[in-house]
Structure 1
Amino acid sequence: MSIKVPATEHPVSDLVRNRWSPRAFSPKSIEPAVLKTILEAASWAPSANNLQPWSYVYATKENTEQFEKLKSILLPGNHLWAQHADVLILASAITAYGPDNTPNAYAWYDLGAANATLLLEARQHDVFGHVMGGFDRKKAKEVFHFPEHVEPVVVIALGHLGEAGQLDEPFYTREVTPRSRKALGEFAFAGDFPS
């Protein structure tokens, strides 16, 4: 079990550098109070007009029925490893608000900020998260009876870090491959966007 801490161009905080997306989870449970803290952290993310347009449906492995419902929406490749996480969370964007169902163009962006805040809080408690787009959105809306204005966006697996050796390929190789990111000069520009 090793945390993949990358080298950075600039002195990025340890909290950010230590956040990564493993697929190997240990059988250790996340304490209920810690899970509540992680979930509450999402509420402190910034959002347009403070609408907080996000919703989380979650289950721990102990809540077998709800956990199975969440597992049932995963695509097969993600199901192989995510079933070993301690918690599964379906993160959704609330795309309209108010009595007139006014569209919220920033709902997905705001949900992303909430998810990032949740994941950083998780690392404070030695918990790791892996965000997945590989799930059946239509089935998720049906299984969880979502209204029209609630859009399932990602599923998050949470748990304590396990051993890479417990994973089959191609997941083992992904787990042990060093992390990399684009260089700062490839995405941040002082002035005009390069042509």
Structure 2
Amino acid sequence: MPEQPSDRLAVTQVPIHEHIAARWSPRAFDPEATLDHDDLVALLEAARWAATWGARQPVRFVVGCRGDATFTALAALLKRGNSYARAAGALILVCADEGTDEKTARYSGVDAGAAMANLAVEAVSRGLHAHPMAGFDALGAQQVFAIPDGIRPLAVVAVGTLGDYGQVTAEIAERDARPRERLPLAEIAFAGRWGSPAQL
């Protein structure tokens, strides 16, 4: 049985959906595990069916599975601190078509975030994990994949099976063992005026 961090479930005021509570972003992937084709398609379908402003559907994906040329190219674009993701079963570059004006560009980013959230929850429902990463060479991605002007590469999502934390660096093991934390609702949910906590 692989060594894994414990206490990964979100601590919430009231129960939330089990797959949302169980979602976290590990830095240890099993380099021997293969990502099932149907699982990969399901993750992309979940992302495709996320909410989208004005039904515009601006989100695009570049998908690589470990061992193929796309995966190798995406892995080479990762910043050094994200090198752990080379053990994932797939790397997915998430891009947004920003359109022709500031409002459209803003909401394309919102749509991309919703797509990544759907993907991550679908991954948990299938016994997988997803880790979105901003640490990659976006300009390099545009060049390597011939991404057109107006399409912004936003994140690379590593997807795979949880790895053995006995095989990772001490730094990664320590970081992923830290308690999961979020700001309390009283600091982020307001009513009446900004900064006045909603009575929840």
- The TM-score, its normalising length taken from structure 1, stands at 0.92
Point out where structure 2 has 5 or more consecutive residues left out of the alignment.
none
Are the aligned partners of 1:41 and 1:121 in contact in 2 as well (CA < 8 Å)?
yes
Query: Which residue of the partner structure matches residue 87 of structure 1?
Result: 90
**Aligned-pair identity (%):** 35
What displacement does 1:2 show? 4.9
Are the aligned partners of 2:61 and 2:94 in contact in 1 as well (CA < 8 Å)?
yes
Residue 78 (structure 1) aligned with residue 82 (structure 2): yes
Question: Aligned ranges for residues 16-55 of structure 1 at < 5 Å?
Answer: 16-26=20-30, 27-55=32-60
Are the aligned partners of 1:42 and 1:115 in contact in 2 as well (CA < 8 Å)?
yes
- The TM-score, its normalising length taken from structure 2, stands at 0.90
What displacement does 1:7 show? 2.2
What displacement does 1:102 show? 5.4
Structure 2 distance, partners of 1:83, 1:47, is: 30
Structure 1 distance, partners of 2:149, 2:170, is: 38
RMSD across aligned C-alpha pairs, in angstroms?
A: 1.5
Secondary structure of residue in 2 paired with 1:170? helix
Point out where structure 1 has 5 or more consecutive residues left out of the alignment.
none
Secondary structure of residue in 1 paired with 2:75? helix
Q: Which has the higher helix share?
A: 2
Are the aligned partners of 1:90 and 1:155 in contact in 2 as well (CA < 8 Å)?
yes
Q: 1:70-107 CA deviation, whole Å, 9 max, x = no partner?
A: 1111011112x1111110011011101xxxx4561310
Structure 2 distance, partners of 1:12, 1:150, is: 35
Structure 1 distance, partners of 2:26, 2:17, is: 20
Structure 2 distance, partners of 1:157, 1:142, is: 21
Secondary structure of residue in 1 paired with 2:130? strand
Give the ranges of 4+ consecutive aligned residues of structure 1 lying more than 6 Å apart after TM superposition: none
Query: Which residue of the partner structure matches residue 189 of structure 2?
Result: 188
Structure 2 distance, partners of 1:93, 1:172, is: 33
Structure 1 distance, partners of 2:50, 2:10, is: 25
Are the aligned partners of 2:5 and 2:176 in contact in 1 as well (CA < 8 Å)?
no
Q: Which amino acid aligns with 1:60?
A: C
Structure 2 distance, partners of 1:7, 1:188, is: 17
Structure 2 distance, partners of 1:139, 1:121, is: 29
Are the aligned partners of 1:87 and 1:157 in contact in 2 as well (CA < 8 Å)?
yes
Secondary structure of residue in 2 paired with 1:6? coil
Structure 1 distance, partners of 2:181, 2:66, is: 32
Are the aligned partners of 2:187 and 2:195 in contact in 1 as well (CA < 8 Å)?
no
Structure 1 distance, partners of 2:164, 2:13, is: 29
